[in-house]
Amino acid sequence: MLSLHDLLYQRTPRVPVTKLLVGINLLVFVAMLAGGAGLWHSSNNVQLAWGANFGPATQDGEWWRLGSAMFLHFGAVHLTLNLWALWDGGQLVERMYGHTRFAAIYFSSGLTGNLLSLVAHKGLAVSGGASGAIFGLYGALLVFLWRERRNLDPQEFRWFFWGAAGFAVATLILGFLITGIDNAAHIGGFLTGALGGIVLARPVNGIKRVAHRSRLLAGGAFTLAVAILISQIPVRAYRWSEEVLTRKEIGEFLRDDAAISQAWQSILDEGRRGGISFEELAGRIDTAVGDRYEENFEQLSHLPPNPALPSSATVEMLRHYAERRRDASRALAEGLRAHKPEQIRDALEMANQARQLSQPD
């Protein structure tokens, strides 16, 4: 019987890939903190900006998010737990399979886990983290231990095998009990790692060959599973690029509205001080207020008319607001030119009501 320590350290003495993965995850987290992410929790908007897996974005041609999401974490606790599991299990698995095969198991598990997450959550969850890939390592670890059980000390085998199995099962159970844990990614990663452990197995000491049939069956099962997942990718609710464009236009409108409102107030204050004709006041209102609200109204009207966009309701409210403010400014200018105090009061009241309706409760 062999000691697991002797078996592994004579195979692959160094674990550069595990260390590299830990380092990359730490660097990405530090970069996110420097970019405004929270230490204990990051909002979905921050995660999306850094490449989280999210149906409308991933399915909008940004399939790289299935990979980038593997290096994102939602806070220090999330990062610490994942890196602890990666460091603890990754060193063993890298020695069991070698650097290249270890990397193949890690990335295929993470990508497949994220693909299953996309399908299981119908593209509506914002997900990220290395846990899917890490679960893949534990799946490969269990396959290796089971395959070599007759070559290992029985007590050592029981300790490592049932310890790893208990960790995986307990974590999956917690995933079903605690909201926010992406168990789909965990399950997808674990199964991929187990199949990868069969396909990429290498014999101990180069003596015992791994059955070719087992490799073919495991490889076929993995290929079939991925094909089924791809066929089940849900129809996206909306295009993320359209939502990003809409949010950009909303931000630009709000900034412009603040400037227009300030110009409106300056013109009214100047009119109250006197020394300027009604005709000139009306011209300034048309140019500095009415024309600009008209332009903003047109820009908002040209945004993608998709009611499924999260910002759709906001755009509709702002369009109505811009239209009311434009009409109020036009009515005010006409009242000034016609010297109609009642029309002037009504126009100012209309502008004030539009402002109040645009404010959140």
Active-site annotation, residues: 131, 186
- Max CA-CA distance within the chain? 105
Which pairs from 212-219 meet CB under 8 Å and 24+ separation?
219/195
Contact assessment for residue 163 and residue 4, using Cβ atoms and an 8 Å cutoff: no
Percent helix, strand, coil in the chain, to 5, is: 75, 0, 25
In degrees and rounded to multiples of 5, residue 2 shows phi and psi of -100, 150
Encoded amino acid at 125, one letter: A
In degrees and rounded to multiples of 5, residue 53 shows phi and psi of -80, 120
Nearest-10 Cα torsion for 9, 12, 18, 20: 130
Half-sphere exposure of 234 (CA within 13 A, CB side): 18
In degrees and rounded to multiples of 5, residue 127 shows phi and psi of -125, 155
Of 122, 102, 345, which is closest to residue 232 (Cα–Cα)? 122
